């Protein structure tokens, strides 16, 4: 595939850990394969906690309140954010203004990771490889 691994979008991570039926079979197959490098960004931790705090994720209290232990037991590598990610996320031209999506797009591009997402907004970025 040319990539070194896969980066989970926030909803993908939430759906995977909650065994939500909305997770595609392709995404589920990759997530369950212990031989594949899966990454979960620190951006996802921030997005989950922020949205939970303001009441946008009421069904995910368990995930928000136990995020660290869930991630530790999940078959994924924590992807830190660095200056290069932040700079690129703020720099590239894209009408989509969601800061979480911008950061995940930048990280997936810079780290050469396929973004596992159901969000079609990423389809407008020819330099982001997605899978669903």
pLDDT tens digits, one per residue of 56-92: 999 999 999 999 999 989 989 999 999 999 999 999 8
**Alpha-carbon span 41 to 77, nearest angstrom:** 8
What is the structure's pLDDT at 75?
A: 86
What is the structure's pLDDT at 80?
A: 97
Residue 95: burial class (beta carbons within 10 Å; 0-12, 13-18, 19+): exposed
Place of tokens 């894209």: 94
**97 falls in which pLDDT band (50, 70, 90)?**
confident
Domain layout of the chain by residue ranges? 5-131
3-state secondary structure of 70: helix
**52 falls in which pLDDT band (50, 70, 90)?**
very high
116 DSSP β-pair partners: 8, 131
Average pLDDT over residues 95-114: 94
Q: Is the pTM of this model over 0.85?
A: yes
What is the share, in percent, of the chain residues with pLDDT greater than 70?
Answer: 98
What is the structure's pLDDT at 1?
A: 43
Which is nearest to 89 in space by CA: 104, 71, 79? 104
Architecture of domain 5-131: 3-Layer(aba) Sandwich (3.40)
List Cβ neighbours of 96 (8 Å cut-off, separation of 6 or more): 102, 121, 124
């Amino acid at each position: 595939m040319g990539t070194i691994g896969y980066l989970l979008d926030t909803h993908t991570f939430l759906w995977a850990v909650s065994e939500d039926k909305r997770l595609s079979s392709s995404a589920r197959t990759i997530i369950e394969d212990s031989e594949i490098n899966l990454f979960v960004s620190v951006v996802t931790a921030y997005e989950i906690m922020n949205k939970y705090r303001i009441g946008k994720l009421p069904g995910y209290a368990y995930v928000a309140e136990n995020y660290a232990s869930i991630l530790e037991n999940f078959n994924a590598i924590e992807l830190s954010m660095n200056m290069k990610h932040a700079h690129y996320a703020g720099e590239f031209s894209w009408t989509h203004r969601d800061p979480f999506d911008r950061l995940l797009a930048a990280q997936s591009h810079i780290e050469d990771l396929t973004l596992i997402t159901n969000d079609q907004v990423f389809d407008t970025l020819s330099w982001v490889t997605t899978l669903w």
